[in-house]
Amino acid sequence: MTVPDTKSMVLDLLRGAAPERADEISALWRRYRPEFEVVPDRAGITMNANKHRIQFDLKTLEVLWLIGFCGWKSIETYTPLILTAMLTQGVIDEVLVTDQDLGPFEQDYKHRIVIAHSFIDSDNSVFGEWPPDIPRPQSDRASLKDAQDQAAFDLTCMASAYVFLHEFRHVMFAQDGSAPSRRPEEELACDVWARGILTDKLAVYAKGHGHDYQRVLNKRAMGMALGSLILHTITPPHARWGTGEYPPIAERMDALIKGSNLPDNASFWMLAASILVGVMRQSHRPIDIAPQGAKALVAELIERMR
């Protein structure tokens, strides 16, 4: 079925995530005119595109919201561990053994991700368990009274905008007949294009609105970090090493977060490192790394995922 206001909803999301490119986004939408097809909830993730439309179900939007908020909470779960390892020049796995406070936080974090996976596997999320410390999806940021929830809301909107921009690039490739010859290359190209829409013209936006460029870039990059967690979570384990349709997940995460030119002390790197430590812990993979800094840790963790 087609929901009448879906196009306005998605356009508002994209223009809100990258206001400096609102006119450009609107012009591209008028040129390519993709339809939005909301289908009944079904098992798996429904988010795909052809030359005429972008198709998704409402359950998938709930999953994006849930993963985004989970990713934000990786800060409270893993940042203290990372900081301790950095300050003591210790190996993360060894610090884990002695961290008496991590257990409950990590248990809660892993449980939220398990709930996200249960939503992905089900054909309907209406009757599923919802984490008590994460608000239900909503469009009114002001209704969220907690500052941390408001921050997660902003970044999750950016991450969701990335997902829709990625699909829109597929529409453009299909209509123009310009897609790369190999599907994995097209997927990476869509990732890079979406990231570019959200970050390439930030200097103009920051200057025009009297904002500090580094702070604005830091926030957008954080949205991309949540986008990388969304990619990892919705990709089936057997496909994370790459398939005939998709590149390895490490390459996609690399494209979204590793290449940021933010300084080493930017808070983005700590969020990205916390997310990646969480990914490694969920996979029961060793983290025998003595981090020299969050940025270097991000690069090393992505390499370990290849």
Confidence check: pLDDT of 267 > 80: yes
Secondary structure, 3-state, the chain: CCCCCHHHHHHHHHHHHCHHHHHHHHHHHHHHCCEEEEECCCCCCCEEECCCEEEEEHHHHHHHHHHHHHHHHHHHHHHHHHHHHHHHCCCHHHHHHHCCCHHHHHHHHHHHHHHHHHHHHCCCCCCCCCCCCCCCCCCCHHHCCCHHHHHHHHHHHHHHHHHHHHHHHHHHHHHHCCCCCCHHHHHHHHHHHHHHHHHCCHHHHHHHHCCCHHHHHHHHHHHHHHHHHHHHHHCCHHHCCCCCCCCCHHHHHHHHHHCCCCCCCCHHHHHHHHHHHHHHHHCCCCCCCCCCCHHHHHHHHHHHCC
Confidence check: pLDDT of 86 > 70: yes
pLDDT confidence of residue 127:
66
Tens-digit pLDDT profile for residues 129-176? 899 999 999 999 999 999 999 999 999 999 999 999 999 999 999 999
Tens-digit pLDDT profile for residues 281-303? 999 999 999 999 999 999 999 99
What is the average pLDDT across 22-33?
Answer: 96
Least confident of 18-22, 86-90, 254-258, 274-278: 254-258
More confident residue, 125 or 67: 67
Tens-digit pLDDT profile for residues 199-253? 999 998 898 999 999 999 999 999 999 999 999 999 999 999 999 999 999 999 9
In percent, the amount of the chain with pLDDT more than 90 equals: 90
Confidence check: pLDDT of 198 > 90: yes
